Amino acid sequence: MDDSFPVLTAGIVVPLCAGAAWVFYRYRNQRRCKWTIDEKTQQALRRYVLIESTHGKPDSVLQTFREYAIKNSMIKKMLFTPDQDIFLADAVNQSSSLMVLVLGTQCGYSAIRVLSLLPPDGKVYAVEEEDSMAEAAEEMILVSGYKNNQFKLLCQHPVDAIHTLHSKFDLKKVDLVLMDFQSDGYLEGLKALTELGLLSPGSLILLNNMGPLVGKDFVGHLEKSVHYRVVNGCQSLLKVEYGQSSQKVLKVKTFRDE
């Protein structure tokens, strides 16, 4: 009986470990699905935009994104809602943005949307970590009519990209930062922006997907720091102002995904 016990234990433990690994794998992929789409879907979206949009017209390209999103829920999750689009436009106007950093542009929608709101001398530094999505995003931005002197696209992890902006592009300050990547990296990204001096008083930071999965460390950092003022939010999109030491007007934790 004693001899059989290790066999029985292994028979139970091994399946349990395998099951736990599968649950972790599924959970991790569910967390990533907002930011990653398969190449087949990327190519289908690309073909649709190339065929259906009027090239050189940002509004037309953005509209074809929205049309395709009606057919594909994964693409829909990557786009802003109409209310968030308005909220973004208000933030760009409020900050009188000329230099904008988009951390996590995915298929290019957010970079094109921001570029459409900037004055002719404005510029967007767009970052996308996944190779094929970065390539597709750059093509979509060019199809929209924007030139290489109006945007730069970096295929890097968002935090790594922050550290290369000054050395690679001599970028000293940004007026607006849009964070739309894995939210568990927001705190590290925010600290990098601050430590490298890329933010100045009045700079705005927009943080997407500020739902219940956001880490407590990040929430606590925003609420306790004298350098940030939580301004307001729209759905899961939160607006924060840098350089203010006044009392917080809102709590980060009040913003949840609907």
Q: How many CB atoms lie within 10 A of CB 147?
A: 8
Domain count, the chain: 1
Specify if 62 maps to a domain: no
Specify if 216 maps to a domain: yes
Cβ atoms of 43 and 112 within 8 Å: the answer is: no
Specify if 233 maps to a domain: yes
Specify if 129 maps to a domain: yes
- Render pLDDT for 166-183 as a digit per residue (tens, 0 to 9): 889 999 999 999 999 988
pLDDT at 213: 58
pLDDT at 212: 61
Residue 163, Cβ density class (10 Å: 0-12 exposed, 13-18 middle, ≥19 buried):
middle
pLDDT at 209: 85
Q: What is the pLDDT along the chain (258 residues), one digit of tens a residue?
A: 455 434 434 444 444 343 433 333 333 333 333 456 888 999 999 999 999 999 999 999 999 999 999 999 999 989 999 999 999 999 999 888 899 999 999 999 999 999 999 999 999 999 999 999 999 999 999 999 999 999 999 999 999 999 999 889 999 999 999 999 988 889 899 999 999 999 999 999 999 987 665 656 677 778 788 888 888 889 889 899 998 554 444 454 444 444
Specify if 173 maps to a domain: yes
Specify if 22 maps to a domain: no
b/e 172-181 (16+ beta carbons within 10 angstroms → b): eebbbbbbbb
The reported pTM is: 0.81
Q: How many CB atoms lie within 10 A of CB 241?
A: 20
Full domain range(s) for residue 96? 80-254
pLDDT at 167: 85
Contacts 24+ apart (CB under 8 A), 252-255: 252/210, 252/214, 252/218, 252/219, 252/222, 252/223, 253/219, 255/210, 255/211
pLDDT at 49: 97
Instruction: CATH number of the domain at 90, please.
Output: 3.40.50.150
Specify if 69 maps to a domain: no
